[in-house]
């Protein structure tokens, strides 16, 4: 499991580090990593390092200081380096001196000879002829999008961008983008990932995130967020052992679909089948359709005569009327772990007395998209998706899985898992139904609900990627059935990662 730390946590750890290692030495360590990775980018793009040109975009703080020091190291490898200073009077003095001593030059962003946008001729030329650009505009102290001059320069960049610590213009805490922002090819960050590297647009704009060791390890507290690696998911995914039978691996009950929406039942039931070797029961009005597509599912017309299960997946396509309400009440009343999705969430929002049927000791997972989240009555999601998920998880004592390009899974005790997959192939109708079936199956196996959500989300997005892309990596739109068909391949891939 990889950790993610807030800027506040990183700063506090840095302060502890500075009691042992002087601040300038730490900055040079950080900058050295930036230089190393920039040299690598130059090699990949131009076939070499010496004789190439790098332009540094330098803001007013230590992020700019890192860039300037990195420039001085690149100079020593024969790279032509120009620093474009966005705020010349406040540029990091030590870094500037180091760059000049190494033979680099610095120009003001705004002059001389500015064009109609205010960008000086030297600065414009430096940006346009660079083989790579280092973004040291702003780091942990960022607020809001890029300011106009920075935005204008970034707009002109034609070659790869290496961002120092984070892509400038992105909110470090939420990953939100409110205005112009850098889209980096590579981000070199220090000590550990920050939320913006794994959340929302920030994750996409970070490009490849490389974590440089600056000596913070022992000073970092418990991470604010966690990201599961493929190997974590593979190690946790349930597979049958020699002593197992169809019951011992957990029986999952799927209460989904209706005469109007039989497809939801087929998708949720099918994904449960693909997720585990344990038994899948289906209870609801789409029993015939489910049985036709998935003959291994034990079907019945109603949750009241479904037989014993170890967990329920409930909600997709059950409707928001009286029959849906009865289904949800019955499932809650069973005292089993429940993954409640789609219509169940709408029902809970409209009639909070449904919570009364819940056994307080049985875990509940809610899996809303933004609209369903709002229907729960805890306000809109807003830009801080982690805070929103935590708020609702604590309020209802549930594991809250907030869907989207970045999926956030919050436990009632505040732990948060993030799936930072950046591809959007799962954004297709019915793919949420597949996710519900996966989570239900993992809950039935006895897995911790928070981990079950993280594992299901990872396999879900990997399956979508496998379904969408060919061997050359070229993607094409998929439907939820195609995603579902790739679940076994995705499980195999994470298990392979765990075994190697």
Residue numbers belonging to the annotated binding site for (6S)-NADPHX = 62-66, 139-145, 165, 264, 317, 369, 433
Residue 381 near ligand ADP by CB under 6 A: no
Both tokens of 90, joined, read: 């406040």
Residue 239 near ligand ADP by CB under 6 A: no
Q: What is the SS3 assignment for the chain?
A: CEEECCHHHHHHHHHHHHCCCCHHHHHHHHHHHHHHHHHHHHHHHHCCCCCCEEEEEECCCHHHHHHHHHHHHHHCCCCEEEEEECCHHHCCHHHHHHHHHCCCEEEECCCCCCCCCCCCHHHHHHHHHCCEEEEECCCCCCCCCCCHHHHHHHHCCCCCEEEECCCCCECCCCCCECCCCCCCCEEEEECCECHHHCCHHHHHHCCEEEEECCCCHHHCCCCCEEECCHHHHHHHCCCCCCCCCCCCCCCEEEECCCCCCHHHHHHHHHHHHHHCCCCEEEECCCHHHHHHHCCCCEEECCHHHCCCCCEEEECCCCCCCHHHHHHHHHHHHCCCCEEECCHHHHHHHHCHHHHHHCCCCCCEEECCCHHHHHHCCCCCCCCCHHHHHHHHHHHHCCEEEECCCCEEEECCCCCEEEECCCCCCCCCCCHHHHHHHHHHHHHHCCCCHHHHHHHHHHHHHHHHHHHHECCCCCECCCCHHHHHHCHHHHHHHHHHHHHC
Residue 59 near ligand NPW by CB under 6 A: yes
**Binding characters for ligand NPW, 289-328, by CB under 6 A (x = yes):** ----------------------------------------
Residue 165 near ligand ADP by CB under 6 A: no
Q: State in angstroms the smallest separation of the CB of 480 from ligand ADP.
A: 7
Residue 57 near ligand NPW by CB under 6 A: no
Binding residue count for ligand NPW, defined by CB under 6 A: 29
Nearer to K ion, 135 or 384 (CB): 135
Nearer to ligand NPW, 14 or 384 (CB): 14
- How many Cβ atoms sit within 10 Å of the Cβ of residue 2? 16
Binding residue count for ligand ADP, defined by CB under 6 A: 16
Q: Give the one entry of K ion, ligand NPW, ligand ADP, none that residue 135 binds, where binding means its C-beta sits below a cut-off of 5 to 8 angstroms depending on kind.
A: K ion
Nearer to ligand ADP, 187 or 407 (CB): 407
Nearer to ligand ADP, 74 or 434 (CB): 434
Residue 342 near ligand ADP by CB under 6 A: yes
**Binding characters for ligand ADP, 433-452, by CB under 6 A (x = yes):** x-x-----------------
By CB under 6 A, name the one of 307, 427, 446, 476 that touches ligand ADP: 427
Nearer to ligand ADP, 196 or 268 (CB): 268
d(CA 293, CA 289): 6
Q: What residue ranges bind K ion (CB under 5 A)? A: 135, 163-164, 168
Residue 60 near ligand NPW by CB under 6 A: yes
Q: Give the one entry of ligand NPW, K ion, ligand ADP, none that residue 404 binds, where binding means its C-beta sits below a cut-off of 5 to 8 angstroms depending on kind.
A: ligand ADP
Kindly tell me the sign of the dihedral angle through the C-alpha atoms of 183, 184, 185, 187.
negative
Segment interacting with ligand NPW (CB under 6 A) among 26-34, 70-78, 283-291, 361-369: 26-34
By CB under 6 A, name the one of 431, 447, 456, 484 that touches ligand ADP: 431
Nearer to ligand ADP, 38 or 405 (CB): 405
Residues annotated in the binding site, as ranges?
Answer: 62-66, 135, 139-145, 165, 168, 264, 317, 369, 403-407, 432-433
Q: Give the one entry of K ion, ligand ADP, ligand NPW, none that residue 223 binds, where binding means its C-beta sits below a cut-off of 5 to 8 angstroms depending on kind.
A: none
**Residue 363 burial class via C-beta count within 10 angstroms: exposed 0-12, middle 13-18, buried 19 and up:** buried
Residue 426 near ligand ADP by CB under 6 A: yes
By CB under 6 A, name the one of 75, 226, 336, 403 that touches ligand ADP: 403
Name the residues that contact ligand NPW, by CB under 6 A.
14, 23, 26-27, 30, 59-64, 66, 137-147, 150, 164-165, 169, 190, 214
Binding stretches for ligand ADP (CB under 6 A): 342, 369, 403-405, 407, 424, 426-427, 429-433, 435, 460
């Amino acid at each position: 499991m990889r950790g993610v730390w807030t800027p506040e946590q990183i700063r506090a750890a840095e302060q502890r580090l500075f009691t042992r290692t002087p601040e300038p030495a730490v900055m040079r360590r950080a900058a050295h990593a930036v230089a190393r990775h920039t040299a690598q980018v130059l090699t990949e793009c131009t076939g070499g390092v010496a004789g190439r040109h790098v332009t540094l975009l330098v803001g007013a703080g230590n992020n700019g200081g890192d860039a300037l020091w990195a420039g001085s190291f690149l100079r020593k490898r024969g790279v032509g380096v120009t620093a474009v200073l966005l705020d010349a009077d406040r540029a990091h003095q030590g870094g500037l001196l180091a760059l000049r001593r190494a033979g680099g030059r610095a120009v003001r962003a705004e002059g001389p000879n500015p064009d109609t946008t205010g960008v000086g001729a030297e600065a414009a030329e430096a940006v346009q002829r660079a083989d790579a650009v280092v973004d040291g505009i702003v780091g942990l102290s960022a607020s809001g999008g890029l300011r106009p001059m920075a935005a204008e320069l970034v707009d002109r960049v034609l070659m790869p961008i290496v961002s120092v610590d984070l892509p400038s213009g992105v909110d470090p805490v939420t990953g939100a983008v409110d205005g112009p922002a850098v889209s980096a090819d590579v981000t070199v960050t220090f000590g550990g990932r920050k939320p913006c590297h794994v959340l929302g647009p920030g994750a996409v704009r970070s490009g490849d995130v490389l974590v440089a060791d600056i000596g913070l390890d022992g000073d970092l507290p418990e991470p604010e967020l966690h990201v599961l690696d493929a190997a974590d998911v593979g190690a946790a995914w349930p597979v049958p052992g020699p002593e197992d039978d169809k019951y011992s691996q957990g029986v999952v009950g799927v209460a989904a679909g209706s005469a109007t929406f039989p497809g939801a039942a087929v998708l949720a039931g099918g994904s449960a089948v693909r997720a585990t070797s344990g038994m899948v029961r289906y209870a609801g009005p789409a029993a015939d359709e489910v049985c036709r597509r998935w003959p291994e599912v034990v079907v019945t017309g109603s949750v009241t005569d479904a037989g014993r299960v170890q967990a329920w997946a409930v909600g997709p396509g059950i409707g928001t009327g009286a029959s849906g309400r009865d289904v949800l009440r019955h499932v809650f009343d069973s005292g089993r772990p429940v993954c409640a999705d789609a219509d169940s969430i709408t029902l809970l929002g409209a009639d909070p007395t449904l919570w009364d049927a819940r056994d307080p000791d049985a875990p509940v997972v809610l899996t809303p998209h933004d609209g369903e989240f709002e229907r729960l009555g805890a306000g809109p999601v807003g830009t801080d998706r982690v805070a929103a998920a935590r708020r609702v998880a604590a309020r209802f004592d549930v594991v809250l899985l907030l869907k989207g390009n970045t999926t956030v899974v919050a436990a009632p005790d505040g732990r948060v898992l993030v799936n930072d997959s950046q591809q959007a192939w799962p954004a297709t109708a019915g793919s949420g139904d597949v996710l519900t079936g996966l989570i239900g199956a993992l809950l039935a196996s006895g897995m911790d609900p928070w981990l079950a959500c993280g594992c299901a989300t990872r396999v879900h997005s990997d399956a979508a990627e496998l379904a969408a892309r060919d061997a050359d990596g070229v993607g094409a739109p998929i439907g939820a059935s195609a995603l579902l068909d790739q679940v076994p391949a995705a499980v195999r891939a994470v298990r392979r990662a765990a075994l190697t």
